[in-house]
Structure formats: structure tokens, C-alpha cells
Structure 1
Amino acid sequence: MKKLISFMLASLMVVLSACGNNASGGEGGAAEGPKDLVVALGSEPISLDPQDASDGISLHATELIFDKLVTFDKDMKIVPELAKEWSSSEDGKAWTFTLVEGAKFQDGTPVNAEAVKASFDRILDKNNKLKRRSLFADFIDNVSMDSEYKVTFHLKFPYAPILATLAHPNGGIHSPKNAAEKGKGVSKAPVGSGPYKFKEWISGEKLVLEANPDYWGEKPKLKSITIKPVVENAARTLMLETGEADVILPVPATDIERLKNSDQVAVNMYPSNRNLYMGMNTQKAPFDNVKVRQALNYAVDKETIVKKIMMGNAKPTQAAISELTWGFSPVGTYEYNPEKAKQLLAEAGVKPGTTIKLWTPEGRYLMDRQLSEFVQANLQAVGFQVEFRKWEWGAYQDAIDDPKSGYDLFLLSWAVPTNDADWGLRPNFSSDGTNNRTLFANAELDSLVDKGMKTTNEEERKKIYAEALKIIKEEAPWIFLVEMNQFIGVRKNVEGVYGSNTERLILREAVKK
């Protein structure tokens, strides 16, 4: 009996000791070490090559894997990253960057001037056919090494937003060793110098990034970050509420107010420079007629979209770029006027019952499918027969990248990661723009966009972009919809997660307690 009592007391002491340790560490306390963060997004990345990625979901991930020369801080100010200092020549056509010393890529190779040059040579080479080539190739002539840790960018002309453009996530620096070995395969097996490194990617299920223990900067506070694609709004919300996910994006508009009352979850709103729009194939009848494009703008009730679908969490766009983007000027929205829309359609010779196709992703943007269904109803109300199709994000991107796929109308958005009008307008509205899926072409606008990126005087640039925005509104290659806010759902035991004005989901400082 004495032995039995002694055994029971000893067992009780072990249990109490364990409970005490847990109480001191809290839920997921520091005693247990760094944790895994689970992030549920509305879709999955398409590419982990920052130089070949054109979608925001991919860039959420690449910003964890790759460092850039410079970056934006929380206040959208340019701050050092791999470059500790920089200077420009008197004529503004040469920019020299001095690199931090001792930084390494995740494969152990050094981050030096040779690596920076190799990374930019890769994207400047037109034979590589990388999606973000024009972001840099339009203004960079070449890159030279001055010393082991000093590199100079030689420009074709003085380019005002050079630092903002280098801070774009597409400016991530590759390991030259990995890029040479993998070629295009780096999109599935990337190596950068960032705080998290690639571990595995099971398409449709999860992307796992693990902490880089040899990171040259502030050490990551998590063991790993797992990104899961969850298309269904209700499923994403449930994962957050049950703790299956620590972070979700986007938060469904219908769930925002309810989640705000939770003692386990926080919903944080961040202003975004993302505009949501419905693009039109302007090379295809009837959208090759400007009256038809204007009619579609009059046909859509933006105020009801804001109030009923977005639940007040957006506002009608006042221009083709957001008011948060440098170079914005308000040119106004098209009023909701279905009778005006019918009049313009009649003048353009469009017969009632004309069939058009409307495509949308589901889960990529806040209430995207619901918004597209509302637009479908608006267009049917002015006489169109609208064929509706929803897509998985990756397949959707491929389809709208190919004009031969047969799209008429497509829901998409554009955030401006440089926060400068140049990259708001040049890719979308220049006749050779890399994101010009509307196939819109206007010689006067091309001239203004070209002039805007070659002008360094800020006041002159603003006037140029104001004129460009007026032309875009009048020509209406988009149905201009709403300017969005970004809502991020976060478990309350997670800190250091935030959104930027350029609508990046910033996870580098995240910690889970």
C-alpha cells in the first residue's frame, strides 16, 4: 500500500509539473519552440519565380523566399534590404547600390554583385520570356559589377520610380547557382536569400515553407508557414474559427461583422490600392465599339455592389488606378443609368438578345463570384444574353492570358506593387502592355504612358497621368467597378501579420504564441 501511494504521489507530481510548464508557456507557449503558421487563401500560387509571377497570390509566397535590393516598410517608405545604401549619377541614368556583406542564399552561395547582375540579366534576356520582363527591361539598359559588393544599374533614360520598381516583389534576387541548374524549373523549386525557404508544394493541397536558420537578417519567428488554397468562403471562415487556419485571406464580406465579435479571432482592415474591374476584349465585336463599352459601364450598379455585395467594404472607383497610388487623379465613375446603356447599345446596332460570355474566378477576390453574378444580371437587364462561367484561379489565368481562348468579359483586378502610376497604367493600357488582356490600343495614350515614365519632374508627371486617366475612362476598356479594402482574419495568438497598401500579405514578422 505504501508503494502504491508513493507511486500515485509521484505520478501526480509529474502531471502537476507538466501543467505548470504549460501554464507558464501559454497556448503554444515559447517553451514549445517556434510553431507552424497555417494560412488559408482563396486560391493557390501559380509560380514561385518572382520574375515570372504576375498574380498577387504567388507574390505573397515569393516575398518570404526572396529578398530584394530595397523594399517598402509599413508606411510605404523605401528602406534597405540587400542594398544598404545607394546613389545616382548627376544625369539620373546610373544607380549604384552597395550590398550588405555576409548575406547568403538558402543554398549557401553568397549574395554579391555577381548574383544581383545574374538575376537581372536573367529577366532582361528576352529569350527567357519571363512575364515581368517589361517591368525592368523598359528602362534598364544593363547591369555592371563595380566590386564584390557594389553593382550599378545603367538606365536607358532617367526613370523616376526606379526605387519603387526595384521594391516590387518581382525584383526578388535568385540564387544564380539554382537558376542555372533549374532554368524554368525554379518556379517549382526556388532558392532566394529570404527568411523562409521552399520545402514542398503539393498542388491543390498545400505549399510549405520552412524557416531559414541561416538567414542573414532578423531570424524568422516561426518553424514553418503552410499555405493552403481554400476556395469556399464558408470553409475558410470555419478553418479560422476552429483554429485549423491561423490566417485567412480574403475574409468573406458576410462574415466580417460576426468575426469581429469573436474572442479568438481578429479581422483587420487595410486600405488597398487594388481596383476590381471587368475587362472587355476590345478586339472582338461588339466590344470593339466604344459606345458598347461605355454602355456596359452605365449598365452596372456600382453603389449596390458596394452596399449589398461588399457590405460597405469597398467604394466605386474614381479612376483606372486607386487614390492610394501616386499619380492618381479622380476622373469620376460612370453613373448607374440602364436607359442610357440601352440607348448607346441601340446606337451601336447591338440587338437585344445578343449573347456574350462572362468569366470569373471564385475565391481569388472578396465576393468575386457573387459580384460577377450581379454584373451578369445587370447586363441581362439591358438586353444581353450572358453566358456565365466560373474558373479555378490557375486555369483562369492561363485562359485569359490567351486571346484565342474566346473570352468576352473577365473579372480581374490590379494592385500596383510599385505604388506608382507608371506600373498602374503601362502594363494594362499600353498597346504592348504585358497585362493588356483587353487588347486595347490607343496611340495618344501610348505616348502619354511613355512620356510619364521618362519624366522626372513630379508635377509634370501628375499632369501626364491625369490626361491618361481621362482617355482611359472615355475609351472604357474596363467596366470600372470598385476600389477594395483588404480584410485579413487572424487568430488572436498570432502577431506580426499585416497588409500593405499594395495588397501584399506580409508574414515575415509573424509569430504564433
Structure 2
Amino acid sequence: MKKISFLVFMCTMLFLSACSNSSSPSTNSSGAGAQAAVEPKDLVVALGAEPTILDPQDSSDALSNNATELVFDKLVTLDKDGKIVPQLAKEWTISPDGKKITFKLREGVKFQDDTPFNAEAVKITFDRVLNKDNKLNRYSFYSEFIDKVNVDSELQVSFDLKFPFGPALTCLAQAAGAIHSPKSLQEKGKGVGKAPVGAGPFILKEWTPGTKLVFEANPNYWGGKPKVKSITFKPVPENSARSIMLETGEADVISPVVPTDVDRLKGNDKLSVLISSSSRNLEFVMNTTKAPFNDVKVRQALNYAIDKETIVKKLLSGYGKVSEAAFTESVWGYSSVGAYPYDPEKAKKLLAEAGIAAGTKIQLWTPEGRYLMDRQIAEFVQGNLQAVGLAVDFKKYEWGTYKNITTNPKKDNYDIIMDSWGASTGDADWALRPLFTTTGSSNLSGFSNAEVDTLLDKGMKTTNPDDRKKTYSDALKVIKDQAPYIFVLDNKQLTGVRKNVEGVYTWTNERLILREAVKK
């Protein structure tokens, strides 16, 4: 019996050996083929435009922030459901009076240039943006509520706040809360926007303006090596071209999807279209620092002149809704104050009362490819304004150029410009304060109203939620009446993804999150 058992054992081993030697590479004994079967792949993302700057504290556009979310990590971030979760911080505590937040940091984390991550790196990053002389875009985002950043120990940092601020953690979870390598900041100065170094899962490898940005997986990422080899952003302003790239496989992800292509793409069994809510609205900003837009009757007239329902139903195929306030209902503190109805006759009457003669010339500027159907919407608005007697000079621009010429109403001297604002914090404070306070960092209309200034300051410093909501409701009513913008629509996010790609999702603030992407 022992001999028989031995012979059976030997035959079995010979059989397994033969199978091993004759097997396909994917199952050979070396394991190399098995490793090749799961080799990370390259992911290609076609976007309507390209990022403008990759310095998180000096950018204000979502496309740039989509990129910096790959390169950088923050103390805290958001999960798929928009809830605050740890990232570079392991945990945190808030003092009983709400004026100090203390973070305990992860050990052993390094930046992409091998510089150690510690409390000093956090302080250097925030001291930089809190220094008014640096004139960084996100200065007011943090300076309004952060008083001081303290290095408590190598792996503990604390923030002293000027007052208890409810959305403080949410603000730190936004792209602007990204932590730079101190070495990179020292060596590159303002040049960090073109060659960023963070502690995130991807490293910027190449940026060919107008063509592509390539991000390579960071092999030493503290959270584990990414599941794709690289991510390439390609700017593709033409809507139909992005859809074709998705269909042919030239792109794995596209954003945005043009509404007229949604049904066709959804009918392709190799593709998915992600439709999600958004904190972003689309509007036309009027330069209130110059005539005739310094007259509230003119601004109200232009709000009556626009057929917003048709824009939503026809141009966006229903993927959106007419704005009923200065920010969307997905933002905390929302209350409807009602839209200006389409009433061209009332628009003409108000223009006449303001002394605006028929044929008065104005300019209307728009980007092309940045926002969903941006050029088409702007052309429609041009037609509405001409129908009430204005002569409208229409101009369209590539996104990078457009951003550079629409930064300041007095300096750039524009008349009406298309804009879109997404409250990245999901809170009414950041939905309104940058745009409508006299000193707001993104006050593109030059709007100044003492009552609005007072209300928004009160809303920021009030801790009771019901009181805050009442304050923001009052502010929304004043803003509607003063009409510095033509509020058109609240967006939906439409993202196309090939079905062999998983782990792609969006936040309501228009962030396209690709860090967890897997391509099969």
C-alpha cells in the first residue's frame, strides 16, 4: 500500500509539473504572467478645456483642481458621499469654544521629492496663502477665519480660528487645502503652478499646453500605489469630438458630455453616463462699475430679457433647471427667491426708463468648451438681448485666454461675461461671499452693496444653523433685486465613462475624482 501511495503521489506531481510546463504564460510557475495580467494601464481623460495653474492656493477653476487632486493630499478630504474623512491627518479635535482645531498627522509620509511630511510643512503651506503680500487667489478663502497655524510637535499641528466657523473642516478638505513640499516652494516660488510637488498618488510628468497633461503613478505613495499606470488629460473643446473619443476608446473618460449625445452614449453597452447633481450654476456677470450696467433697472431688464426655460429644455435637453437663487439647492443654506420670468416687453420698458436707446452697443464674451454648451447658450442670450433692442458684439475665447481677460471688472473693462460658480465647500458662505461682497476675491461684477456686505459677514460669524439660513435667505433676496448677474441655470454633471473603467466619481462641486480609477 505504501508503494501504491508513493506511485500515486509521484504520478500526481508529474502531472502537475507537466501542466505547469505546458501552461499559458498567465499561469506559469514564475508568476510573471500573472503579474502582467494585472499590469496597471494608462487612463485617458478628455476635458472641455485644460487646467490653467496647478498651484492649489492660486487656482479658482475646477479643471485645475481636478488635476491638483491627483498630485496633492490634504489634512482631510471628502469621500464619495461628500463626508469629511482623514487624509494626511489621522484624527482631529475641536476645542469646546470652537476656535482651535488640532490635527495629529500620519507618520512616515513623504512628498514626491522625498521631503518628509510633517507639521512644519503644513504651517509653511498655510502661512504662504495667509500672507496677503503673496496675492494668492485663495487668500480670502482662509484668511477670513484662520488666525494662526501652530507647530505643536513634529506630527501635530493646530489652527487658531478668529471665530467659531462651521465650515472650517470643509474648507480644509477643498483643493486649496493641499499641502506643498516645502522644498518645492522654496526652490520654485511662483513656478510651483507649472511643476507642483505634493504627497499625492500621482506625479506630474509632462504638460504640453493645449495638448495634454500626463500624470504618472507615484510608486511610493503612502496610501498604496495607484491602480492605473498614468492619467492623461486632453483638452477637447468640441463637444462631439469628446463623445466620439469615448465611443472609439481613444478616451476612457470624458467631461462634460453634451446633452444631445447622452441617449446615444447610454445606448452603447460599452459606455456609461454618470448624471449627478452639482453645486455649480451658470450665469452672465454684468460689469456694475460702468454704464449702463451701473443702473439697477438695466440689470433687471436684462434678467427679464433672457428665456431661461428654453435654454434648459432645448439647449440642455432638460439636464439642468432654471436658477431660483444665486446658488443651487445642493448647497447648504439654499432658499428659493424665484427666477426673473421671461418678459421681453418688461425688459424694453425698463431699458426705456433707464434712458437706453435702441441700438445701444454692448459686448458679450464667452469661453468655448469650458462649460456645458457654453458657446451655444451665449449665442442664444445674444439673440435675446438683441430682441429687446441692444446691439450685441459677441466674442468667444479659448479657456486659458478667457481666464486671463476676465479677472477684474475695472482692469479688463468687459461688459457682460459668462461665468459659472460652484460652491466648493457646499456651504452658502462660499457660494456668496467671494462673489458679492465688496472685497470678494471673485467679485467679477464689481458689485458693492452695504446691506449684502453686512448680511454675509453675519452669516459667516453666526453659529446657529437656523439663524444662518435666515441671514442667507435675506441676502439672496437683496442680490436678486440688485441683479448684478443674469442667473440662468443650475447645472447637472454629465460624465462619460467606458465600462472597463471603475472607481471614477464626482463631487457636487464639479470635481472629477480619478484617484481610485481602475482600468480593466
TM-score above 0.5, yes or no: yes
**2:195 is aligned with 1:189:** yes
2:472 aligned residue:
465
Question: What TM-score comes out, normalization by structure 2 length?
Answer: 0.93
Summarize the Cα distance change of 1:16–1:420 in structure 2 as closer, same or farther, 3 Å threshold: same
Q: Of 146, 163, 178, which aligns to 1:172?
A: 178
Q: Of 461, 466, 469, which aligns to 1:454?
A: 461
The equivalences for 1:79-478 within 5 A come to 79-403=85-409, 404-478=411-485
Summarize the Cα distance change of 1:200–1:304 in structure 2 as closer, same or farther, 3 Å threshold: same
Shift of 1:16: 10
**2:494 is aligned with 1:487:** yes
Instruction: Give the aligned length.
Output: 496
Shift of 1:86: 1.0
Q: Of 38, 41, 64, which aligns to 2:44?
A: 38
Greater Rg by CA: 2
Offset from partner CA, 1:382-403 (integer Å, 9 cap, x none): 1100000000001101100143
Cα distance in 2, alignment partners of residues 463 and 19 from structure 1 = 64
Cα distance in 2, alignment partners of residues 381 and 430 from structure 1 = 32
Equivalent AA in structure 2 for residue 248 of structure 1: I
Cα distance in 1, alignment partners of residues 134 and 272 from structure 2 = 43
1:5 aligned residue:
none
Shift of 1:202: 0.6
Equivalent AA in structure 1 for residue 496 of structure 2: G
2:11 aligned residue:
none
Kindly, what percent of the aligned residue pairs are identical?
63
Equivalent AA in structure 2 for residue 309 of structure 1: L
The runs of at least 4 aligned residues of structure 1 exceeding 2 Å deviation read 14-21, 402-406
Equivalent AA in structure 2 for residue 42 of structure 1: G
Q: Of 485, 506, 518, which aligns to 1:511?
A: 518
Summarize the Cα distance change of 1:45–1:463 in structure 2 as closer, same or farther, 3 Å threshold: same
Offset from partner CA, 1:226-263 (integer Å, 9 cap, x none): 00111111211111111111111011111111111012
SS at match of 2:93: strand
Gap runs ≥5 in structure 2: 1-20
Cα distance in 1, alignment partners of residues 335 and 110 from structure 2 = 43
Equivalent AA in structure 1 for residue 307 of structure 2: D
Equivalent AA in structure 2 for residue 48 of structure 1: L
Q: Is the 8 A contact 2:26 2:36 kept in 1?
A: no
SS at match of 1:50: coil
Cα distance in 2, alignment partners of residues 61 and 405 from structure 1 = 27
Summarize the Cα distance change of 1:29–1:484 in structure 2 as closer, same or farther, 3 Å threshold: farther
Cα distance in 2, alignment partners of residues 402 and 333 from structure 1 = 27
Cα distance in 2, alignment partners of residues 374 and 83 from structure 1 = 48
Equivalent AA in structure 2 for residue 36 of structure 1: D
Offset from partner CA, 1:349-394 (integer Å, 9 cap, x none): 1111111100000000110000000000000001100000000001
SS at match of 2:279: strand
SS at match of 1:190: coil
Deviates more, 1:97-106 or 1:286-295: 97-106
SS at match of 1:386: strand
Shift of 1:406: 2.5
Cα distance in 2, alignment partners of residues 315 and 463 from structure 1 = 24
Shift of 1:90: 2.1
Q: Is the 8 A contact 2:297 2:354 kept in 1?
A: yes
Shift of 1:19: 10
Cα distance in 2, alignment partners of residues 456 and 53 from structure 1 = 29
Summarize the Cα distance change of 1:481–1:55 in structure 2 as closer, same or farther, 3 Å threshold: same
